[in-house]
């Protein structure tokens, strides 16, 4: 059962890397340009994806929500992407050894929750896909058209081609 989640972790890393590589080709100021979106800038959107991965990993490993690394981050865009990539790799390492059925119990805003590890993992990866799509739309608003595919099916195709 873990294999499916490990595959999805590998896809998440692949997609994050493709997006980060495309963004690193752009002028740094573009990542700070304000747009109409869920978050005001590309950089803010990427930071939000990183917060979710970092926070949920912290919750899964330590039953804590520690995103201080992200909230206190002041590095340049390359350092941001490198830190985000490192968190995605750490998340994959967690998935490789995770007990997917373990219930994660936590409190948020006065409410108590209990969610299986597998559902949190799935949610984190879906969340990343959702916001990567938003970043692509933001890039298009900025006139950037050379954008790599990050769809799951493209990852599957690329993986299959590599096996031939």
Domain boundaries, the chain: 2-162
CATH tag, 2-162 = 1.20.120.450
Which distant-in-sequence residues (6+ apart) come within 8 Å of 37 by Cβ? Answer: 45, 134, 137, 138
pTM: 0.94
Residue in the block written with tokens 């559902």 = 119
Neighbouring C-beta atoms of residue 13, cutoff 10 Å: 17
Cα 119 to Cα 123: distance, rounded to the nearest angstrom: 6
44-82: pLDDT as tens digits: 999 999 999 999 999 999 999 999 999 999 999 999 999
Q: Which two tokens stand for residue 7?
A: 């595959």
Cα 100 to Cα 118: distance, rounded to the nearest angstrom: 5
Mean pLDDT over residues 21-37, rounded? Answer: 95
pLDDT of residue 163: 84
Q: At residue 118, what are phi and psi to the nearest 5 degrees?
A: -60, -35
Is residue 1 pLDDT above 70, yes or no? no
Cα 70 to Cα 106: distance, rounded to the nearest angstrom: 21
32 is in an annotated binding site: no
Is residue 125 pLDDT above 90, yes or no? yes
Residue in the block written with tokens 């969610």 = 115
Model confidence at 2, in pLDDT bands (50, 70, 90)? confident
H or E element, residue 95: helix 77-97
108 is in an annotated binding site: no
Strand (E) positions, 42-110? 103-108
Q: Which two tokens stand for residue 149?
A: 């595919």
Neighbouring C-beta atoms of residue 110, cutoff 10 Å: 5
């Amino acid at each position: 059962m873990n294999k499916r989640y490990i595959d999805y972790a590998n896809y998440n890393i692949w997609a994050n890397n493709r997006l980060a590589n495309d963004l690193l080709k752009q002028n740094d100021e573009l990542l700070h340009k304000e747009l109409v979106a869920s978050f005001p800038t590309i950089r803010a959107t990427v930071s939000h994806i990183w917060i979710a991965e970092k926070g949920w990993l912290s919750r899964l490993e330590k039953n804590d929500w520690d995103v201080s690394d992200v909230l206190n981050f002041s590095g340049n865009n390359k350092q941001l992407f490198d830190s985000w990539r490192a968190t995605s790799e750490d998340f994959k390492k967690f998935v490789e050894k995770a007990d997917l059925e373990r219930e994660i119990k936590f409190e948020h805003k006065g409410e108590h929750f209990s969610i299986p590890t597998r559902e949190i993992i799935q949610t984190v990866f879906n969340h990343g896909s959702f916001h990567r799509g938003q970043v692509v739309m933001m890039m298009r608003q900025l006139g950037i058209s050379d954008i790599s595919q990050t769809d799951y099916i493209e990852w599957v195709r690329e993986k299959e081609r590599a096996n031939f």
